[in-house]
Amino acid sequence: MQLTNLDARNKGAMSLRRFPLEPHNHPRHLPFFVHRVYHPRVLGEELDGIPKPKLDASMTIVAGFNFQGGILLCADTKISYAGAINLESTKIFTRTYGNGAKTAFAIVGTVTAAKMAIQECEYVLDQLEPNDLSKHKIKQTIGHIVDSIYRGHIYNHPHFGTGQAPSFELLIAAWCPPDAIALWKTEETRVNELVGYECLGAGTYLGHKLLRQKYSELRHNKISLDDAVFLAARTLSEIKGYDDACGGRSEFLVVWRDGRMSEVVPFDITQAKPTIDRASEDFQRLLSGLSA
């Protein structure tokens, strides 16, 4: 079994130079940069029939909830690079614009593609004049940009449709004057408004199983911030204990109906806990941070 080293020659053409693969240099044990530079799968080859992995960072679980006072976004912070390195990084990105609008984007999928979409959205939204601002205009702007990125960078990718191409989804909480608020979800080029809750990422299947009935029960009684945060925290906790693709600390953010937007507040959920104590100091600190 051998790995491939790369030499550039003749105007960038690649030649292959073989060197032995020692047991401690098995691809599963190689650091991320070695995968990117030396691994033969970078050239489209397969190693012992194993499909070429995604080389961009991939993300895991985010969720959004409509509640009586506004919208709650939450996410874990685990990012996997080519299956070789797990890092922690925020998945929630906020912006307050000069025209008065506010957005919070939560992302799953290929990091670079998702961030590209957010940066383009934020740039265009910041150019809108206050008298052009509306919930529909913000949704329309996001839809056009996501459509452009998918058509320009994803649908034409050589591995599109195989599970190896870049892809991303967004959960977006937005507010604009005087009091318009919305929670949207993107799915490829589509943008849809949500009136309940949504989960995206590797833990989606379990998230819906844990949330659907309980959220429906609470919704009839007008869900409070306390209810929404408790439900989100318990769900993230159980998902992390069940699915290895989800992990790291958790982060929460609220966009309020009156236009306030909280900071992104961390909450450490390191393992599955059947119950989360609402009276605990950590939980009360989380609620206080989101209410500020």
Residues 141 and 108 in one domain: yes
Indicate if 248 and 170 belong to the same structural domain.
yes
- Same domain, yes or no, for 240 and 95? yes
Residue 21 lies in a domain: yes
Q: Structural domain tally of the chain? A: 2
What the block records as the tokens of 250 is 């958790």
232 and 282 inside one domain: yes
Q: Are residue 71 and residue 22 in the same domain, yes or no? A: no
User: What DSSP designation does 104 have?
Assistant: E
Query: In this structure, are 62 and 197 located in the same domain?
Result: yes
CB-based contact 180:135 (threshold 8 Å): yes
Answer yes or no: do 136 and 100 share one domain.
yes
Q: Single out the residue of 211, 250, 242 nearest to residue 194, CA to CA.
A: 211
The Cα 125–Cα 117 span in angstroms is 12
Digit-by-digit pLDDT tens for the chain (292 residues) are: 443 333 333 333 333 333 333 333 333 333 332 232 323 333 233 334 434 434 345 447 899 999 999 999 999 888 766 555 678 889 999 999 999 999 999 999 998 999 999 999 999 999 999 999 999 999 999 999 999 999 999 999 999 988 888 999 999 999 999 889 999 999 999 999 999 999 998 778 888 888 988 888 887 668 999 999 999 988 888 876 665 555 678 999 999 999 999 999 998 875 445 467 888 888 899 999 999 7
Query: What pLDDT does residue 13 have?
Result: 36
Torsion, CA 20, CA 23, CA 25, CA 27, rounded to 10 = 100
Residues 30 and 137 in one domain: no
C-alpha–C-alpha distance, residues 188 and 154, integer Å:
9
> Is the torsion defined by CA of 208, 214, 220, 224 positive or negative?
negative
Q: Are residues 15 and 68 in the same domain?
A: no
The pLDDT of residue 194: 96
| Domain match, 28 and 74 both | no
Task: Kindly state whether residue 50 falls inside one of the protein's structural domains.
Answer: no
Structural domain containing residue 18: 2-43
| Residues 119 and 231 grouped into a single domain | yes
Tell me whether residue 262 is in a domain. Answer: yes
48 falls within a domain: no
CATH number at residue 267: 3.60.20.10
Is 49 a member of any domain? no
Same structural domain for residues 79 and 213?
yes
